[in-house]
């Protein structure tokens, strides 16, 4: 049961997929381990690149820093839901914005093949100016044509499909 809301069949909370998050944690841990090995082991005697102990130390510290930031971000992401759907609207938990279903004109979905990231729910709004600040950067760069785009790339594909169907159902019922 989610502590943020009572248990109800009309309430859906989408969290990040443990499998996808575990892959990100493994990659970040790999950077930390390689960085630590670079600090502990001497540089190779023969190398194509000019490699010194100081250079290897700097690269090792950067690898540890990069991996540590990745681990911290994943710990933060894993502790929070991505999307929260209620009968009256949805909450994008990442951007802390509530969107009533009455404000949504239409819904479209973009997802890549299984195993790849890239799961998006695109919303066309009745009043696009009300939500213009949310998508200013992505619309300017031409990434999305929707008024609001919900990124569920870290979610399990089944949860993504269930969320998309739920939003489409609520919008079509209005």
Q: Is the pTM of this model over 0.85?
A: no
Three-class DSSP category at 22: helix
The candidate with the shortest Cα–Cα distance to 174, out of 94, 88, 115, 90, is 88
83 strand-pairing partners? 14, 92
Model confidence at 54: pLDDT above 90:
no
**Token pair belonging to 66:** 């990069």
* Within a domain: 107: yes
* Within a domain: 8: no
Same domain, 72 and 118: no
Same domain, 69 and 87: no
Same domain, 71 and 100: no
Whole-number pLDDT of residue 116? 55
Same domain, 95 and 135: yes
Alpha-helix residue ranges (DSSP H) falling in 12-121: 18-40, 53-78
Same domain, 132 and 52: no
pLDDT band at 114 (very low <50, low <70, confident <90, very high): low
Same domain, 44 and 110: no
* CA–CA dist 88, 99 (Å, integer): 9
pLDDT digits (tens, 9 = 90+) for 79-111: 889 999 999 999 999 888 999 999 999 998 887
8 Å CB contact between 2 and 12: no
Please give the share of the chain, as a percent, with pLDDT higher than 70: 84
Three-class DSSP category at 88: coil
Same domain, 88 and 108: yes
CATH of the domain at 126: 2.30.29.210
Average pLDDT, the chain: 84
DSSP tag of 117? -
Determine the structural domain holding residue 21 and report its residue range.
Answer: 17-78
* Within a domain: 12: no
Same domain, 73 and 155: no
Model confidence at 113: pLDDT above 70:
no
Q: Average pLDDT, stretch 28-42?
A: 94
Three-class DSSP category at 32: helix
Geometric angle at alpha carbon 104, from 98 and 110, rounded to 5°: 95
Same domain, 164 and 113: yes
What is the spatial order of strands in the sheet that 83-86 belongs to? 12-14, 83-86, 89-92, 97-100
Whole-number pLDDT of residue 139? 63
The total domain count for the chain is 2
pLDDT digits (tens, 9 = 90+) for 125-164: 898 888 888 777 556 656 567 788 888 888 888 999 999 9
pLDDT band at 5 (very low <50, low <70, confident <90, very high): very low
* Within a domain: 55: yes
Please give the share of the chain, as a percent, with pLDDT higher than 90: 37
């Amino acid at each position: 049961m989610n502590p943020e809301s009572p248990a109800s069949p009309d309430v859906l909370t989408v969290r990040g997929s443990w499998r996808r998050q575990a892959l990100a944690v493994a990659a970040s841990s790999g950077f930390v381990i390689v960085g630590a090995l670079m600090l502990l082991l001497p540089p190779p005697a023969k190398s194509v690149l000019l490699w010194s102990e100081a250079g290897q130390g700097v690269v090792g510290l950067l690898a540890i820093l990069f991996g540590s930031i990745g681990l911290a971000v994943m710990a933060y992401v894993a502790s929070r839901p991505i999307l929260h759907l209620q009968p009256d609207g949805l909450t994008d938990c990442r951007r802390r914005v509530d969107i009533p279903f009455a404000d949504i004109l239409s819904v479209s979905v973009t997802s890549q093949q299984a195993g790849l990231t890239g799961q998006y729910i695109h919303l066309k709004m009745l009043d696009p100016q009300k939500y213009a600040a949310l998508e200013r950067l992505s619309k300017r760069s031409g990434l999305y044509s929707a008024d609001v785009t919900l990124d569920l790339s870290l979610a399990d594909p089944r949860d993504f499909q269930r969320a998309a169907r739920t939003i489409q159902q609520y919008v079509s019922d209005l």
